[in-house]
Amino acid sequence: MEGKRSCLSSSIPSDLLRRIRKLTLSILTNLSNGQSPVVQIDRFRNYCTETSGNCYCNCGISVGKELLTLQRECHTRRLDVLLRVLLVVQTLLQQNRHGSKRDIYYMHPTVFKEQSVVDRAINDICILLQCSRHNLNVVSVGNGMVMGWLKFSEAGRKFDCINNPNTAYPVPVHVEDVEIDIIGVARYILVVEKESVFQRLANDSFCTRNRCIVVTGRGYPDVPTRRFLRLLIEKLHLPAYCLVDCDPYGIDILTTYRFGSMQMAYDAKFLCVPEIRWLGVFPSEVEKYCLPQQCLLPLTREDKTRVEAMLLRCYLRREAPQWRFELDLLLSRGLKCEIEALSVQSLSFLSEEYLPSKIQGGVYI
């Protein structure tokens, strides 16, 4: 998959338009000949539950094909949606314009019925055309924010975070148009799960004191945030740490940054950040920092089910056994907590003691 994409260059729009024409012509030819068209979509995954160590989930290799035909009603609907979305993509490419997934949904809301239907079609189109989503000129409404010792420009618009290192700037949506102009004073990149923690660090002038860059995806990171983080690490060659809640969702967000998501497994090699290290909050730290019982919450049945499923993921067993150990400890103790629970020590404990001491002491996994 990666090799095939490398042939896409500045001529990406014309290449993709050629592929769209080839795909639609194939379908029309089958229909004119009285045959049911068959659309083959490769299937990818970024993890499995294989325990033998013989899986190939992280190799960007298709694990099978899904065949869509007009002989099944559910497939007919998927093909209808796929072709409608493909027509929008073709128009965007021809006119050199960009549109959001939400824009596409509202073009045929009675047909699509829900956003997830459009999202699935976009992923199918990326696989069929062997490209990434941004190549289709389909963009997300960015949720990510960044602050710290960084300068960059996006399509000619300049962002000088260094002048106000504790001020939040939006993560650029068109990451392919970003140019990094960095003064070599940033020591590391810190990714935080939540906006509330990001704002806490801004209020405490964390970036000024520690000469770093802080990024947040405000929950599960969107594609622009993950692409921007990957770009920063590739261009600046800085260590990257991740701070998440000590709960199943926080740890799942952590794995999304490092290993990618199952939904976009076909693009994992271009979105994942294998260099990222888990800085906290670890289940094993609860006693160390003397968090009172009132700061701890019992895992719900849904939490336990999620943890049990995560423990089966092959990449944790193969590439992050220490992460898996902490996850197992979370399940066995049955208690979770938020990052903000550390404020029981003092309001500035997180920014003045917890984070600096862990980074300086190398207490991360």
For residues 22 and 348, give the distance between their C-alpha atoms in angstroms, rounded to a whole number.
59
The DSSP code sequence of 7-61 is T-STTHHHHHHHHHHHHHHHHHHHHHTT----EEEEE--S-----SS---TTTT-
Residue among 47, 106, 169, 241 flagged as catalytic: 106
Between the CA atoms of 9, 259, 280 and 206, what dihedral angle is there, to the nearest 10 degrees?
10
Element (DSSP H or E) covering residue 56: none
Examine the residue annotation and report whether 106 is marked as an active-site residue of this protein: yes
Among 33, 34, 60, smallest CA distance to 46 is for 60
Residue 53: what residue type? Answer: G
Among 212, 109, 224, smallest CA distance to 173 is for 224
Question: Which residues does residue 99 pair with via DSSP β-bridges, in sequence order?
Answer: 138
Q: Which long-range contacts (CB under 8 A, 24 or more apart) does 234-239 make?
A: 235/180, 235/182, 236/180, 236/182, 236/186, 236/189, 238/186, 238/187, 238/188, 238/189, 238/213, 239/188, 239/189, 239/275, 239/277
Please identify every residue annotated as catalytic: 106
